């Protein structure tokens, strides 16, 4: 059912292509080889870029479960597959999936991108689209179409991830936060919002203590160097 729903969402989202950028949430890297989730998300991002559905790719995620910055690892793999470095960006602050989406959206806006889509696996798409809808974020959906992926050569390319390794001071998130605190993070409870993105007054009131006024700007995000 999720696969059919994702295929339907892709068909709808593809009608708005090309996008200025797609957002691809990160996943932990163990330092040896990639996970099946990496395989799916990275090859799908490459497919969307190579077929002209998007002009740029934003990978999101910091060093959460391992001492590797997830977004940099994924960008390295994407470059090895063939996406030019100048079209790859990393958002390195997010520690939860909702943060992946929102902070990458802000990075895209900072770079002047206006047409943005989320591109991830069907399972993650199913609950991230609820987050996007709740806050009325102008983000389309280009979820993975499994039947298309089955036609691709989803090999693991050779890539150097030395630029992604946090060599000092790393502490994994599960050692810093208990289950319920991490769950709250997954639900977006720690996002620092921009006032202009909160369309409804009730959210501006609710998040006033972690909201950046429209008059201010932030430069914490950065592109791949």
Identify the sign of the CA torsion 81, 87, 91, 97: negative
Distance CA 185, CA 94 (A): 10
Task: Determine contact, residues 91/59, Cβ cutoff 8 Å.
Answer: yes
The boundaries of the domain holding residue 15 are 2-155+164-172
Task: Determine contact, residues 103/197, Cβ cutoff 8 Å.
Answer: no
Indicate yes or no: pTM above 0.85: yes
| Domain count within the chain | 1
Does residue 117 belong to any structural domain of this protein?
yes
Does residue 185 belong to any structural domain of this protein?
no
Does residue 30 belong to any structural domain of this protein?
yes
Does residue 225 belong to any structural domain of this protein?
no
Average pLDDT over residues 102-129: 96
Does residue 187 belong to any structural domain of this protein?
no
Does residue 210 belong to any structural domain of this protein?
no
Phi–psi pair at 182, nearest 5 degrees = -65, -40
Average pLDDT over residues 130-142: 97
Contacts of 42 (CB under 8 A, 6+ apart): 24, 34, 74, 77, 78, 81
What does the pLDDT read at residue 81?
98
Does residue 68 belong to any structural domain of this protein?
yes
Average pLDDT over residues 176-197: 87
Whichever domain contains 119, its CATH number is 3.40.50.620
What are the tens digits of pLDDT across the range 52-69?
A: 999 999 999 999 999 999
Does residue 188 belong to any structural domain of this protein?
no
């Amino acid at each position: 059912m999720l696969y059919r729903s994702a295929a339907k969402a892709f068909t709808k989202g593809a009608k708005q292509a090309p996008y200025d950028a797609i957002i691809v949430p990160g996943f932990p890297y163990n330092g040896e080889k990639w996970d099946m989730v990496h395989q799916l998300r990275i090859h799908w991002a490459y497919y969307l870029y190579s077929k002209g559905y998007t002009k740029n790719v934003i990978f999101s995620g910091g060093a959460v479960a391992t001492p590797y910055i997830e977004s940099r690892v994924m960008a390295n793999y994407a470059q090895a597959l063939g996406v030019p470095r100048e079209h790859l960006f990393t958002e390195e602050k997010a520690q939860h999936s909702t943060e992946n989406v929102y902070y990458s959206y802000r990075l895209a806006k900072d770079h002047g991108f206006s047409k943005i889509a989320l591109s991830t696996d069907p399972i993650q798409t199913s609950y991230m689209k609820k987050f996007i809808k709740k806050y009325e974020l102008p983000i389309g959906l280009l979820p993975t179409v499994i039947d298309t992926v089955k036609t691709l050569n989803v090999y693991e390319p050779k890539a150097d991830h030395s630029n992604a390794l946090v060599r000092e001071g790393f502490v994994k998130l599960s050692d810093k936060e208990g289950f319920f605190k991490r769950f709250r993070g997954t639900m977006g409870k720690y996002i620092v919002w921009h006032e202009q993105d909160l369309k409804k007054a009730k959210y501006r009131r609710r998040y006033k203590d972690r909201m950046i006024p429209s008059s201010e700007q932030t430069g914490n995000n950065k592109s791949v160097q």
